[in-house]
Chains A and B, each alone.
Chain A
Amino acid sequence: MANRGFDTAKLPGFTPTAIFVFVALYLPIFMLVFYSFNAGKAVGIWEGFSLQWYGKAWANDHVKDATLRSIVIASVAAVVSTIVATMAALGTTRRKEFKGQTFIYMMINQPLMVPEIVTAVALLIFFAWIKVATGYQGLGYLIVAHSAFCIPFAYLPIRARLEGMDLTLETAATDLYGSPWQVFRYLTFPLLLPGIIAGMMLAFVTSLDDVVITLFVKSAGQDTLPTYMLGQIRRSISTEIYAISTVLLGLTVALLTAFFLLTRKKE
C-alpha cells in the first residue's frame, strides 16, 4: 500500500483502547496464576515462591473427588455429544435442504439461546420426578444434562468442516463401487476427523466449565470442580482456589491451542 503519511485505517484513540482492553483482560488472570505460587496467603504481598497451595489442593480429598467427577462427566458428555452431533451434521449438510431442517437447527442450537438458569430450573423439576419414580441418584443425570448442552458446541465445528469438504471425492468413490459404509469409513471419516476432534474438545471444555446447570441437577455430594469452587468462594477466599484455577486455566489453554492448530486453514 502506498504510504502517503496518512493511515486511512487508523482511528484516534482506538489503538490505546485496544491495548488497554488486552491488558485488562489478562491482568486479573495473570494475578491468579502469579499469586498461586505465593508462599503467603494475602494477594498483593509477595512472600516468595512456593508450591504449597498446589500441595494443599492435591491433598484435599474434596478437590480430588470433584476433579475426578468433573473429568468423568466431561469425558462421557464429550464423547456422547460428539457422536450424536457428527451424525446430525452428516444428516443436515451437503444435501438438498429438506423439510424440517430449520427445526433440527433450532433444536440443536437451543442450548445456546435459552438462558442457562432456565434450563437448570427445568432440569431440577424434571429430574426430581425421575429421582422419585426410579430412586436412582447417580451421576447419570449430570451426564445426560451435560451431553445435551454440549451438542451445539460439538456440532458447529463438525458442520463447518463438512461444508468445506469436496463432495466430488465421495461421488468418485461411489462410482468405484464403494459401499456407503466403505465411503464413510475410508473417505468421509478420515477427512472429517480434525473437525470431530475439534468438536469433542470444545464439548469437553464446555462441560468442564459448567456451573449453573450442574448446581441445580447434582444430588448431595456430587460436586464438580466448578461447583466446589463456587462453594469455597462463598465461605472464605482460599489461595488453594488460585492453584486449582491455574491448573484449569492451563488445561483450557492447552486444549484451545490444539483446537486452533486443528482447525487452522491450510495455506
Chain B
Amino acid sequence: MSAAETAQDAAATRNGWWLSAPALFILAFAAVGPLLIVLVYSFLTPGEYGNVEWIFSLNAWRSILLTEDIFEPGKFTLADAHLTIFWRSVKLSTLTTLITFAVGFPTAWFIATRSPRSRTMWLFLITIPFWTNLLIRTFAISEVIRNEGLLNTLLLKAGIISAPINMIYTDFAVFIGMTYVYLPLMVLPLFAAIDRFDMKLLEASYDLYASRWQTLRRVILPIVRPGIVAGSILVFVPSLGAYVTPRVLGGGKKMMIGNFIELQFGQGRNWPLGASLSILLLIVVSAALVLYVRVSGRENRHG
C-alpha cells in the first residue's frame, strides 16, 4: 500500500467517525450511557422513600432469588413470588414464540408462493399491523376478550353461553395478546428466508418420492433455518421484556418481569432491586442475541 493510499484511508476513517459523531453522542447520552448508571444502582441500598442511599450492597442481587427472614436475619428462603413472575415470563414468552412460529410459518409460506404482484399486497397487509401502535393492538384484543367484550357479547346474544367466559386478566389473555402483537415479527423474517428458497428443490424432492411431510421436514425447514432463528429471537426478546401487553391484559395481577421492574420504581420503592432485575433481563436478552449471531454466522459460512 502506498503512503498516499494509507493517508487516504486514514482520512476516510476520520471522516466516517466525524459524520457518525452526532448520532453516537445522542445515543451515548440517552440510550447506552444511562445503562451504566443502572448497573451502579444495582449495587446500592434502597432509600426509604424510593431512590437510593449511596451505600454498597449486594442485597439487590441476592434478593432476586432469596428473601431474608424478617424475624431471623441471616436466614434465607427462596423468593417464591419472584420465581412465579420469572417462570410466567419465560413460559409465556416461549409459548408465544412457539405459537407464532406454528401459525407464522404457513403464513410466510403462503405469502412467498403468491404471484409477485399480489405478494407485495400480502406483505403490506402483514406490515401494517407491525407498525400499528402496540397499545392500540393490545387494546383491541382486550376489547375482544373482556367480559363485556365483543366475543362474550356475541356468544351471549347467540345463546351459546349463559354467563361471560372470564378470559381477561389471566395468563391466557397475556399469551393471546403477545401472540397477536408479535406475530408480524415472526412472519417477516420467515418470509425473507422462504423467498430465497429455491422452489425447484421441491420438485427434486417429490421426484425422489418424498412425501409432503418429509419434504417439509428434510428439505424446507433445514434450509430456511436462519429465518426461523431470526423470527424466534425477534419474538422472544420483546416478549420477555414486555410491559404494555401484560399490564393491559394481565391487569396488574399477572405480572411479567417488565411490570415487576416498574413496580420496584413505584410502590415497591426498591430501586436497586429494579436495577438488578433490569441488568438481569439485559444479560438474558444479550445472550439470546449472541446465540443468534453465532447460529446465523455458521449458516453463512456453510452457505
Contact = CB atoms under 8 A, between A and B. Distances in A.
Interface of A: 6, 8-15, 17-22, 24-29, 31-32, 42-45, 80-81, 83-85, 87-88, 90-92, 95-96, 98-101, 104, 107-108, 110-111, 113-119, 121-126, 128, 144-145, 147-149, 151, 155, 205, 208-209, 211-212, 216, 226, 229-230, 233, 237, 241, 245, 248-249, 252-253, 256, 260
B186 to A, nearest CB: 10
A151 B23 CA distance: 7
Contact of A84 (B26, B131, B141, B274): B26
Given A123-B34, A148-B26, A209-B133, A96 B149 contact: no
Contacts of B257: 117
A118 B183 contact: no
B61 interface: no
Main secondary structure of the interface of A (DSSP, over half): helix
Given A31-B150, A115-B241, A108 B23 contact: yes
Given A110-B32, A249-B132, A122 B38 contact: yes
Contact of B23 (A24, A87, A241): A87
Given A107-B27, A116-B241, A32 B113 contact: no
Nearest to A202: B131
B166 interface: no
Contacts of B148: 42-43
Interface of B: 9, 12-13, 15-20, 22-24, 26-35, 37-38, 41, 51, 103-104, 106-107, 109-111, 113, 122, 124-129, 131-137, 139-144, 146, 148-150, 152-154, 157, 180, 183-184, 187, 199, 202-203, 206, 212, 216, 237-238, 240-241, 243-244, 247-248, 257-258, 261-262, 265, 271, 274-275, 278-279, 281-282, 285-286, 289
Contact of B131 (A18, A44, A117, A205): A205
Given A104-B20, A125-B34, A148 B150 contact: no
A115 B262 CA distance: 13
Contact of A144 (B30, B126, B129, B265): B30
A22 B136 contact: no
30 contacts: A11-B212, A14-B110, A17-B107, A18-B107, A21-B106, A22-B122, A25-B125, A25-B129, A25-B184, A29-B140, A32-B140, A32-B143, A43-B153, A84-B22, A92-B19, A98-B13, A99-B13, A104-B16, A107-B27, A107-B28, A110-B27, A113-B289, A117-B258, A118-B35, A119-B34, A122-B35, A211-B135, A229-B139, A245-B133, A248-B133
A248 B106 CA distance: 30
Given A31-B140, A43-B153, A100-B17, A14 B278 contact: no
Contacts of B136: 29, 32, 229, 245, 248-249
Contacts of A113: 237, 285-286, 289
A12 B111 CA distance: 15
Given A88-B23, A91-B15, A126-B33, A115 B285 contact: yes
Nearest to A128: B51
